[in-house]
Amino acid sequence: MQKYLFKNISVVNEGEIKVTDVLVEGDRIERIDNNISVKGSVIEIDGQDKYLFPGVIDDQVHFREPGLTHKGNIETESKAAVAGGVTSFMEMPNTIPNALSINLLEEKYAIASRNSSANYSFFMGVSNENAEEVLKINKRKEDICGIKIFMGSSTGNMLVDNFNTLEKLFSESEMLIATHCEDETIIRNNYHHIKAIKANLSAGDHPFIRDENACYESSLRAVKMAQKYNTRLHILHISTEKELILFGNMMPLKEKRITAEVCVHHLHFTADDYAEQGYKIKCNPAIKAPHNKAALWKALLDNRLDIIATDHAPHLLSEKEPPYESAHSGLPLVQHSLQMMLHHAKQGDISLERVAEKMSHAVADCFQIKDRGYIREGYYADLVMVDLNKPYTVSQENILYKCGWSPLNKFSFSATILNTWVNGNCVFGDGKIISDQKGKRLHFNRN
């Protein structure tokens, strides 16, 4: 059984930064204390001037397997994840075929058990026709992260706009329901209005087509339905100031029935960046005007927005080219999300303690993940060691995504991810994957 002893390392955990020792034995954190000594074989790590964070848990990624593996797959994208300090992920159902049955869902779990460097869970997908199948997972609350409903545009057969289907799921689901909220009718009307004025659309038109009203009306509909049935609702990738009035911050996260997520790209980019980035930052919901970014930061810090994620969605660069209608939406981010937030911490936008909270603690609490998301004795040793004073520049040579590019190419971060441990195994170090150990299926503390 491998042992690691971190000596005099700055542990960022549960609202404080404390210099201490951390002992890892096997897949668990054995002890957190000062002046720990160990008999027998142990790998001792000098933590002087280094920071230890709980592994990031990303509740929204698209790893593209099965069916879209020319863009990415569970093996490649999970390696990119751990290189960025993401030790656990929850993956979306809009693969090919869509994960609309328990059998198809379990096929994805089987792939991950063989190939994922990170811990994993998968959302059950919803169509207008599969409500009965979806509700079968009420009996699987301990080993499936939740249900995903696209209440707006999606791929394949996953746009859910049948009122009876939505009513049935919101009233009968015992599972967390995660929603993508954009109103399809508003989007379509905006598109035709702008298209009548401009024959050739550009990337900069995207936030006007998928505007704040499209987001707000759909999110409002989801919130009202959840309030009607006391559904456990989690709205993904909030992108507008207008939506923020739908969320409260007057109770602890663990007591909330309606929670919300913000993604790193909506905290980092604004519509001003389309001029340089073009379709590289086209995504759904769209990156919008700068006042939205400012409002999102404020809501994140006052706890109206509960967690930070990526919505990692790789495409080939050839798929991100004009015209507007064929340029795919989504961007690869999972390798650099923690560094992005550490960059914003350096800028004074957020503290290191809140980074750990919003990317690890709160995700574990929101989804009731068992024994993860914190640096605690007895918890799984999902850990990230960071040098906050070692610069790191994104380049083609160090991008691990299968698609081979990043909207952050040539961006210089002030911090470097030194090592990542998943279940006590050091899987990343010296800028490369150093272990073929696989992650574990996430489990959930749900009654």
Structure token pair of residue 382: 């999902």
For domain 55-367, the CATH class is: alpha beta
Q: Which residues contact 284 (CB under 8 A, 6 or more apart)?
A: 152, 153, 180, 182, 210, 329, 330
Structure token pair of residue 165: 């289907």
Q: Which fold has domain 3-52+377-433?
A: Urease, subunit C; domain 1 (2.30.40)
Q: Which residues contact 43 (CB under 8 A, 6 or more apart)?
A: 2, 3, 4, 5
Q: Are 87 and 368 in contact (CB under 8 A)?
A: no
Structure token pair of residue 58: 């990303």
- pLDDT higher than 80, residue 202: yes
Q: Are 393 and 435 in contact (CB under 8 A)?
A: no
The pLDDT tens digits for 403-412 are 999 999 999 9
Predicted confidence at residue 154, as pLDDT, reads 57
Kind of pairing between the strands at 416-422 and 43-46: unpaired
Whether pTM exceeds 0.85: yes
Predicted confidence at residue 155, as pLDDT, reads 57
The pLDDT tens digits for 296-353 are 999 999 999 999 999 999 999 999 999 999 999 999 999 999 999 999 999 999 999 9
Q: What angle do CA 91, 97, 98 make, to 5 degrees?
A: 50
Sorted by where each begins, the domain ranges of the chain are 3-52+377-433, 55-367
The pLDDT tens digits for 127-146 are 999 999 999 999 999 999 99
DSSP 8-state secondary structure symbol assigned to residue 123: P
- pLDDT higher than 90, residue 156: no
Q: What percent of the chain has pLDDT over 90?
A: 95
Q: What H or E segment, with its residue span, contains residue 333?
A: none
Q: Find the mean pLDDT for residues 115-131.
A: 97
Alpha-carbon distances, residue 211 vs 147, 154, 237, 264, 397 (angstroms): 25, 16, 14, 19, 36
